[in-house]
Amino acid sequence: MADKLTIQQIELFKLSVPLKEPFTTSLGVETKAENVIVKINTKEGITGFGECSPFMPINGESQDTSFIVGQYFAKVLKGKNPLDIESCITLMDKIIYGNTSIKSAFDIALYDIASQNAGIPLYQFIGGKNDKTIITDYTVSVGDPSKMAEDALKIQAEGYPAIKVKLGLNGATDVLRIKAIRNAVGDAIPIRIDANQGWEVDEAIETLKALAPLNIQHCEEPIARWNYMQLPRIKRESPIPIMADESCGDEHDTERLIQIEACQYMNIKLGKSGGIFKGLKMARMAEAANIHLQVGAMLESRLGMTAFAHYALCSPLIVHFDFDTALMFQEDPVTGGIIYEKNGVVKVPETPGLGATIDTARLKKMESICF
């Protein structure tokens, strides 16, 4: 195991993959994943891969902005030691504020290199244990109640242990949507709801109270992210546990939410945190506060999703997993990586590093730039 490596070359690629059907939330409709792949080559022959799926309404980034900002990072990281991850993260943060999505792709590639260099799987490199079963839920897009009920029935028939439902387009109609789903799937299977900031404060409380009899596990981000100071009130008055998502970006957000006792759960996404380095800080803070966690995703392929699965093994308090969006792709461009088994079970690779790549032939089809 080397103590020092040198970044020799960094390549950025635009990965665009159509979805099987539109994915609809209160924030908009997506018909394809528009991601960025980061490939970092070292002089010593180790190659690391990372991926981000920028989403403008949440992290203020697009595929194009990530591709451009990534070039700033590539220019300054070339020649640096990829094993000094903290210095690389600090350097990116000094170059530009925010831009957590593209930062996460570089972060994942650095961790891929470091764990390959150590000769162990990524989850082990970050102190995790592969001692729990990762089971993903599957998501129903918000829309017509009857269509949502049909989609929920399909998810139930495929054996997923929980159904996640996108809401946030009028609280009263959202209640009708969940009632339609419950009537279709019965009472046994848990339902998790995500309003994606779609409700006003009073509307959220009223809606959550109306949904209480319908066996709802938790509700993600009921109100606008900027209005997070109202989350403690919603938490107190809601019979359904609250999970912070958009309001929980990095470790600073985590600290604030803990201090004001805003929620029972937090949803960590590496595309919001800036990657694994800061995600680990968030997990440790949550552990100290005894707050249970979900690890979620945007529209990453199995490459990014593999990083999330490794990260999900870093803490026993990570108990929910939202890794379904890669299954919505019309094409799977990834070699290796996590394996989706029956009933939503996700298997994490035991090979050194991330264990996921995109082969050269597929990369050649993408728009790219090399430094």
Q: Does residue 311 carry a pLDDT above 90?
A: yes
Number of domains in the chain: 2
Specify whether 166 is catalytic.
Answer: yes
Average pLDDT of the chain is 97
- pLDDT for 2 equals 87
User: What share of the chain in percent tops pLDDT 90?
Assistant: 99
- pLDDT for 196 equals 97
Q: Is residue 35 part of a domain?
A: yes
Q: Is residue 52 part of a domain?
A: yes
Nearby residues of 330 by Cβ (< 8 Å), 6 or more positions away? 17, 18, 19, 20
For the sheet with 47-52, list strands across it: 47-52, 28-42, 7-25, 368-370
- What number is the average pLDDT over the span 85-108? 98
- What number is the average pLDDT over the span 154-174? 96
Confidence label for 45 from pLDDT (cuts 50, 70 and 90)? very high
Confidence label for 1 from pLDDT (cuts 50, 70 and 90)? confident
Task: From the candidates 164, 235, 269, 278, give the one annotated as an active-site residue.
Answer: 269
Specify whether 367 is catalytic.
Answer: no
Among 309, 303, 258, CA closest to 281:
258
Among 178, 167, 163, CA closest to 324:
163
Shared domain check, 99 and 160: no
Hey, is 202 helix, strand or coil? helix
Range of the domain at 253: 125-353
Specify whether 137 is catalytic.
Answer: no
Tallying the residues shown for the chain, one arrives at 371
Chain segment 103-130, per-residue pLDDT in tens: 999 999 999 999 999 999 999 999 999 9
Q: Is residue 172 part of a domain?
A: yes
Task: From the candidates 30, 220, 246, 322, give the one annotated as an active-site residue.
Answer: 220
Report pTM.
0.96
Chain segment 216-257, per-residue pLDDT in tens: 999 999 999 999 999 999 999 999 999 999 999 999 999 999
- pLDDT for 140 equals 95
Q: Check which CATH number belongs to the domain holding 205 and give it.
A: 3.20.20.120
Task: From the candidates 166, 235, 272, 278, give the one annotated as an active-site residue.
Answer: 166
Q: Spell out the alpha helix ranges (H) of the chain.
A: 56-59, 63-77, 85-95, 100-118, 122-125, 145-157, 171-185, 201-211, 231-237, 251-259, 270-273, 276-289, 302-312, 360-363
Shared domain check, 166 and 35: no
Task: From the candidates 174, 245, 300, 322, give the one annotated as an active-site residue.
Answer: 245
Task: From the candidates 11, 112, 194, 221, give the one annotated as an active-site residue.
Answer: 194
Chain segment 59-79, per-residue pLDDT in tens: 999 999 999 999 999 999 999
